[in-house]
Amino acid sequence: MAAPTHTPEAPPARLAPRARRVEVVVAALRYERRRPSAATAAGLLIAGWVGLNLAYLISDCPLDLSPDEAHYWHWSRHLDWSYYSKGPLVAWLIRGSCELFGPTAFAVRLPAVLSSAALLAGLYRLAADAFRSPRIGLATVALAMTLPAVSAGAVVMTIDPPFLACWCWAVVGVSRAVREGEAPAEPR
């Protein structure tokens, strides 16, 4: 008895449904490669947000330093481990920025832009992990950009932008530890 021969154009009838499924899966994979992931889209959205805020600060921002910003800038000129009402992080961030870009309003406010970007990235990670959906993370970033605390916090350097970014990433860390069942190391 001779073995049946099959031409590549016409698979046997019993293999046709499997071949069709493979074709559908391959077509879906090709489509997925062309469409950016939600994480990439969130990264691009955050980068655009940073770019727009930097452009606003560079292109003759009409706002003078607020009294708080001027106070923190004064602290940055006299670094210490703490101050009478706040911790040192704001002063350290402003000092680093002023060392790189000079004592300008742009340099004083640059850490606020970077802190808001860190906050948005943390919100993406937190939402994407909590709901197990990168698309929900992307939607969270888009909605967070409309909040006054995030919008104003991106161009005015107070304690709030770095404070919120640090707390957001702390919550991300705790969330991951709880989800993975890992307890923090015991202090020695």
Q: pLDDT digits over 117-129, tens only?
A: 999 999 999 999 9
Distance CA 143, CA 133 (A): 16
For 7, list phi and psi in degrees, rounded to 5: -90, 150
Is the distance from CB of 151 to CB of 50 less than 8 angstroms? no
Distance CA 162, CA 168 (A): 10
For residue 20, being part of any structural domain is answered with: no
Radius of gyration (Cα) for the chain, nearest Å?
26
pLDDT tens digits for range 50-109:
999 999 999 878 888 889 889 889 888 988 888 888 888 999 999 999 999 999 999 999
pTM of the model: 0.76
For residue 112, being part of any structural domain is answered with: yes
Distance CA 28, CA 52 (A): 35
For residue 58, being part of any structural domain is answered with: yes
DSSP lists the bridge partners of residue 7 as: 10
For residue 25, being part of any structural domain is answered with: no
For residue 12, being part of any structural domain is answered with: no
For residue 87, being part of any structural domain is answered with: yes
Domain total of the chain: 1
What pLDDT does 83 receive?
Answer: 81
For residue 13, being part of any structural domain is answered with: no
Segments forming the whole domain that contains residue 74: 38-177
